[in-house]
Amino acid sequence: MLHTRPALGAAAILIVVAPLARPLAQSPTDTLPTNFLTREANARHWVPVQFAPSRAQTTWDSTAIAFPTGTISRLYLRPDVAETTQSMVAHSLPLTIHMSSVGVPPPGHVIPESYSANRGSDRVQVLGQTNLNFPAFTPSTTSPANWTVSIPITPFAWQSGRNLQIEWDVGTPTAGPASWTWFCDAQRFDPPASYGFFRRNNDRDACPSTGTTYAGDVGGPGELMSIWFNSLSGPNLPAVMFLGTSDQTWGGLTLPIDMAPIGFPGCKVWTDLTAGVATTTDPSGVLGRVAVTLPIPYSNNLAGLRIYSQDFVLDPSFGNGLRASDLGIVQIGNAVPRRQGKHLYTYATAINDLPEYALDLTPIVGIR
């Protein structure tokens, strides 16, 4: 997990896929990922069904999609049963949906700090801002729940063998309590460690010691490693991400190394600075994000390799001009299995192109 808020899964969606010359039936015939039509998934999520405004981008690998070439003309959402412990409150939210499949990257190559970088060339709006009703729901022993949210969309041409992506944009609600409780059914495919992971050591070790986020998304050999650091700095500031092989010693010195003697009190070096990537903070200025994505060479010798990272930002408005992250622990995943899904999402007062969170789970989607 990348943060404490959603120990949850992604939304459960059902896609109705009709062969090009067939009329639509009244109920779904399969799901995305396939085979979940009559069985409960193992996770839940609250985007895009609870928070507004919010954005989510769900990408499914072609290996998780069983339906044939045809036209997707309806999406369905169902409430979670297995992990929902309280009644869900009926409400409505305005939703816009885009879909794409041509050139959509496989989940292991999704860039988790940019929605737009992952979109396919055939991206199209299939639902304009439309108010959707999410009915009240009380969990029971019956699983899975019925598909209670049915979303007719502008038909989307689908070709078998491609990856598929749905982007959900939830607008600001017109009414209702701020504490709506509603979770979609969702599927977490495999333990995150099988794909690799990023873990920050301790947020209080950053400089400044509050208001920072240090997160990442790490695949296996042949996939991507993405790391981002938010420190509330300004836009377009010089920054560097260092990678190291040790968090114990560097050049005969014991780590961490206090930087106060060289004019940066409160900052420390947490890893040996073996290699660095120069960059700048995000030009939008949102959180002062430093984001670096690197390809992982395709070599089974790298499977399970652990390395370390630390980010630095030159910011004249803070302290003596330096912000520093805490220690990032990076572990490259196994060469297999292939990722089947990725869910990026954000919930904030200002929705932009920067996802805040990335999880290896996806909504459940079906076809007609």
Per-residue pLDDT of the chain (368 residues; tens, 9 = 90+): 233 333 333 344 443 433 333 333 468 888 889 999 999 999 998 889 988 889 999 999 999 999 899 999 999 999 999 888 889 999 889 999 999 999 999 998 999 889 999 999 999 999 999 999 999 999 888 889 999 989 999 999 999 999 999 999 998 876 556 667 899 999 988 767 788 899 999 989 999 998 898 999 998 999 999 999 988 888 899 999 999 999 999 999 999 999 999 999 999 999 999 999 999 998 766 668 899 999 999 998 999 999 999 999 999 999 899 999 999 999 999 876 678 899 999 887 667 888 888 888 898 877 77
CA–CA dist 75, 77 (Å, integer): 7
According to CATH, where is 2.20.130.20 located in the chain? 194-332
What is the per-residue pLDDT for 3? 33
pLDDT value of position 115: 95
Q: Tell me if 43 sits within 8 A of 111, measured CB to CB.
A: no
Q: What is the pLDDT of residue 364?
A: 86
User: What pLDDT, on a 0 to 100 scale, did the predictor assign at position 252?
Assistant: 92
Q: Alpha-carbon distance 316 to 302, whole Å?
A: 39
Query: Could you tell me the CA-to-CA distances from 17 to 36, 100, 162, 297 in Å, in that order?
Result: 15, 15, 14, 37
Specify the pLDDT at position 98. Answer: 98
Q: Do you find a cis peptide bond into 208, omega within 30 degrees of 0?
A: yes
Q: Measuring CA to CA, which residue among 145, 146, 173, 135 is closest to residue 52?
A: 173
Q: Pairing relation of β-strands 30-32 and 124-134?
A: unpaired
| CATH number belonging to the domain at 194-332, selected among 2.20.130.20, 3.40.50.1220, 3.40.50.170, 3.40.190.10 | 2.20.130.20
Q: What pLDDT, on the 0 to 100 scale, is given for residue 177?
A: 63
Measured between alpha carbons, how far is 109 from 324 in angstroms, rounded to an integer? 28
Give the pLDDT of residue 8: 33
Instruction: Quote the CA–CA distance of 213 and 228 in Å, as a whole number.
Output: 8
Q: Which residue bears the tokens 């993405």? A: 226
Whole-prediction pTM: 0.80
